[in-house]
Amino acid sequence: MKRTESDALKQVIHLASALKAPRVAECAERLAETAREQHWSHEDYLAAVLEREVAARNASGAELRIRAAGLPARKSLEDFDFTLQSGLRGPMAALALGSYLAEARNVVLLGPPGTGKTHLATGLAIAAAHQGHRVLFASASEWVNRLSEAHRHGDLARELARLARYGLLVIDEVGYLPFEQDAANLFFQLVSSRYERASLILTSNLAFSAWGAVFRDQVVAAAMIDRIVHHAEVLTLKGASYRLRGREKDSLPSVALTAQNSES
Ligand code: ADP
Ligand code: MG
């Protein structure tokens, strides 16, 4: 390297540190060599160096958002085996691009236990975090607890405003536990506060027709479903539980128990 080049490089490293851009310092020399070999323009070189810094910053931002999201496990869409849910491959690939988030559309994943609803919701949450959205994941009962708590402290409006800063909220397992009457109203307020403003992903093992019973209030449930599905992709998962795949049906405890009972 010529004397002036190494001086310039030292200055680049110094300036990168002043800008708190460590990746610029790391790659400036290596990329300069490549640039000379491959006759890049000055603009191409500068773009290549800055791109490294931006990519690294985006990645660490995504990592922070993923860690703050409260995901139950780190399951990505790439980990999902679509041969078992082949009808979902296309719709999920489209959702993974994230335009539903910009349009404040919702995603509803319905289907029996173990078919991959939580996995797909988590995968979409990770994809959203990579696209720069803040994400929060919790089960329906955790959401109700959180909102009840805020309500008790007279803080519900503030809590909903705080949640509005998240591009995506995931509400997992609607229907596993029935709610109290108050809870239905709190839930309704959450759904209303997001309506046409920001996205929700909901998962449920129950068809919409059964939500009235879960919320113990047909009118509130109907009003809520109306707002959820007005702009939504509703995807239905089918088939047997992935958790129990490969097991013989009659080796399942519940089946064995029934067989024993009928023998006695
Ligand atoms: P659900 O929420 O519908 O009850 P989960 O998403 O929790 O189901 O899936 C149960 C388990 O099976 C999880 O560990 C999940 O990662 C896994 N799983 C389910 N479906 C698939 C699939 N098609 N490919 C890979 N893993 C799957
Ligand atoms: Mg689940």
Same domain, 45 and 101: no
| DSSP H or E segment with residue 163 | helix 156-163
Distance (Å, rounded) from C-alpha 77 to C-alpha 126?
9
- The CATH number of residue 111's host domain is 3.40.50.300
Residue 17, domain member (yes or no): yes
pLDDT of residue 263: 36
Task: Tell me, yes or no, whether 188 and 215 share the same domain.
Answer: yes
The CA–CA distances, whole Å, from 207 to 79, 110, 112, 116, 235 equal 26, 7, 10, 16, 11
The 10 Å CB-count burial string (b at 16+, else e) for 53-87 is beebeeeeebeebbeebebeeebebeebeeeebee
Residue 161 and residue 56 share a domain: no
- Does the predicted TM-score (pTM) go above 0.85? no
187 and 82 in a common domain: yes
In a domain, 131, yes or no: yes
In a domain, 43, yes or no: yes
Domain holding 175, by residue range, is 69-236
What are the structure tokens assigned to 164, written together?
């509005």
Region of 234 (left: φ > 0; alpha: ψ -120 to 50; beta: rest) is: beta
Establish whether residue 77 lines the binding site of ligand 1, counting it when its CB lies within 6 angstroms of any ligand atom. Answer: no
How much is the pLDDT for 4?
A: 79
Task: Please indicate, yes or no, if residue 61 is contained in any of the structural domains.
Answer: yes
Boundary-marking domain end, from 45, 65, 85: 65
Place of tokens 């129950």: 206
Give distance in angstroms: CA of 204 to centre of ligand 2: 8
- Let me know whether 61 and 73 are in one domain: no
The whole-number pLDDT of residue 258 equals: 43
State if residue 75 touches ligand 1 by the CB under 6 angstroms criterion.
Answer: yes
Are residue 151 and residue 87 in the same domain, yes or no? yes
Q: How many CB atoms neighbour CB 109 within 10 A? A: 25
Residue nearest to atom 5 of ligand 1 (CA): 116
**Coil, strand or helix: which one is 137?**
strand
Helix axes 3-18, 22-38, angle to 10 degrees: 150
C-alpha pair distances (Å), 56 with each of 22, 49, 66, 129, 130: 10, 11, 15, 14, 12
Regarding whether 133 and 52 lie in a shared domain, the answer is no
Q: From 108, 117, 119, give the residue whose CB has the most ligand 1 atoms within 8 Å, as the site to mutate.
A: 119
Tell me, yes or no, whether 112 and 9 share the same domain. Answer: no
**How much is the pLDDT for 249?**
54
Mutate to test the pocket of ligand 1, among 71, 242, 245 (most ligand atoms within 8 A of CB): 242
Q: Is 156 a member of any domain?
A: yes
Predicted local distance difference test score (pLDDT) of residue 259: 40
Report which protein residue has its CA nearest ligand 1's atom 19. 116
- Mind listing the pLDDT tens digit of every residue in the chain (264 residues)? 667 788 999 999 999 999 999 999 999 999 999 999 999 999 999 999 999 999 999 889 999 999 999 999 999 999 999 998 999 999 999 999 999 999 999 999 999 999 999 999 999 999 999 999 999 999 999 999 999 999 999 999 999 999 999 999 999 999 988 888 788 999 999 999 999 999 999 999 999 999 999 999 899 999 999 999 999 999 999 988 888 887 655 555 554 444 444 333
133 lines ligand 1 (CB under 6 A): no
Per the structure, how many domains does the chain have? Answer: 2
Picking from 50, 65, 80, the residue at the C-terminal end of a domain is 65
Both 216 and 112 in one domain: the answer is yes
Q: Which single residue is written with the structure tokens 């959820």?
A: 228
